């Protein structure tokens, strides 16, 4: 192998070394035709997969290989979190251009494994390939539902809609990252904060598990496509309508600060931005206070009620400060799709 030249075996070697020794629940890890896993008897198995493509989901100008590794795992962890599950095993497929260095590949796996090990997830398999253009990552994550998994399709009319944290941070970060240079009007602290929210999202696993076990939550989804799109997903799958009160959306000071400096509307980021990876849930209105207090105690997360599940015929509505319906832009559009 010439210096710096990537081969499939070199990539497998990196992935395998980084995956560590054999661990509980893994009979055979990387290096055979399949991973051989030992699920807990009786536990429903959760499976999710996400494909990240350069210049669609990220740009290498502002995404380091370690950030990409982290995020490719984070977006899948968030799907497990949305069902209240426990993540266990990851399969990572990576394609990169011939000129990619081994150091970059090491850094990619370093980022992915840092987040994986924080959640006791073992890398058990994958695939590696050349790519004729940019980086391509596909992560499949398997997990177990500790209790009955929370679905998108089970919200009921009268339920409260609530989110586990502030919205629009990731979109504020993306807006800054896409600018040719950091604008001097944006304070460094706020800029660092929202860019990190976009590059290294923290999936709400503990929150999801606590909420699934607490009782009273009727439906849940993670906020990946943007609030407007994800409320619509719950409404469609549950065959209900929804009303979101825009003044109640939690938007933190970093996001507001960046919005002011750039003369942008933080509510547009909060509703249409996507990739916040907070959880959106529907719950029995009588359970809201108990859930809010319990979640804060158990995880530190602040549950914010933002609206209500209504009859299907009312559709999905966003209501502004004056009580009037507001048109919100559709959810997150990828770079390529929005051209």
Q: Which residues bind its own copies (CB under 8 A)?
A: 7, 27-28, 31-39, 41-42, 44-51, 53-57, 78-80, 82-83, 85, 89, 91, 93-95, 98, 124-127, 129-134, 136, 138, 140, 142-143, 145, 149, 151-153, 221-222, 237, 334, 336-337, 339
Alpha helix (H) residue ranges in 138-224? 169-178, 188-199, 205-214
User: How many CB atoms lie under 10 A from the CB of residue 33?
Assistant: 7
Q: What distance in Å separates the CA atoms of residue 230 and residue 115, rounded to the nearest whole number?
A: 25
- Nearest approach, Cβ of 145 to its own copies (angstroms)? 7
Q: Which is nearer to its own copies, 47 or 296 (CB)?
A: 47
Is the CB of 74 or the CB of 257 nearer to its own copies? 74
Q: How far apart are CA 88 and CA 108, in angstroms?
A: 20
Closest separation in Å from C-beta 95 to its own copies: 5
CB of 151 to its own copies, least distance (A): 5
Nearer to its own copies, 7 or 118 (CB): 7
Contact 213, 148 (CB under 8 A): no
What is the full DSSP assignment across 104-145? HHHHHHHHHHHHHHHTT-EEEEEEEEE-SSS-EEEEEEEEEE
Instruction: Work out how close the CB of 50 gets to its own copies at its nearest, in angstroms, rounded to a whole number.
Output: 5
Which of 224, 297, 299 lies closest to 48 in space, CA to CA?
224
Look at strands 316-319 and 241-245 and give their pairing. parallel
Least Å from the CB of residue 38 to its own copies: 6
């Amino acid at each position: 192998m010439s210096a710096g030249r990537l081969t499939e075996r070199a990539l497998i070697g990196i992935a395998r070394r980084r995956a560590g020794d054999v661990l509980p629940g893994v009979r055979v890890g990387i290096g055979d035709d399949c991973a051989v896993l030992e699920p807990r008897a009786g536990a429903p198995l959760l499976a999710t997969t996400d494909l990240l493509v350069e210049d669609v989901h990220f740009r290498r100008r502002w995404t380091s290989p370690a950030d990409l590794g982290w995020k490719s795992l984070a977006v899948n962890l968030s799907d497990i979190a949305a069902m209240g599950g426990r993540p266990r095993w990851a399969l990572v497929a990576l394609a990169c251009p011939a000129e990619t260095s081994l150091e970059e590949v090491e850094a990619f796996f370093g980022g992915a494994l840092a987040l994986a090990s924080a959640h006791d997830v073992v890398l058990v398999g994958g695939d590696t390939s050349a790519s004729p253009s940019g980086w391509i990552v596909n992560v499949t994550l398997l997990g177990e539902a500790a209790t009955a998994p929370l679905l998108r399709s089970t919200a009921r009319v009268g339920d409260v809609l609530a989110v586990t944290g502030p919205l629009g941070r990731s979109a504020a970060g993306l807006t800054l990252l896409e600018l040719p240079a950091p604008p001097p009007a944006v304070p460094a602290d706020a800029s660092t904060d929202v860019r990190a929210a976009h590059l290294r999202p923290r999936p709400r696993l503990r929150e999801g598990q606590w909420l699934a076990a607490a009782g009273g939550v009727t439906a849940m989804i993670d906020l990946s496509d943007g609030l407007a799109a994800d409320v619509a997903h719950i409404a469609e799958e549950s065959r209900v309508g929804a009303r979101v009160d825009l003044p109640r959306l939690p938007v933190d000071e970093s996001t507001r600060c960046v919005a002011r400096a750039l003369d942008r509307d933080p509510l547009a980021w909060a509703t249409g931005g996507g990739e916040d990876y907070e959880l959106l849930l529907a719950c029995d209105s009588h359970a809201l206070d108990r859930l809010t207090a319990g979640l804060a105690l158990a995880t530190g997360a602040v549950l914010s009620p933002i609206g209500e599940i209504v009859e299907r015929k009312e559709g999905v509505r966003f209501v502004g400060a004056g009580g009037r319906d507001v048109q919100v832009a559709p959810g997150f559009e990828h770079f390529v799709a929005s051209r």
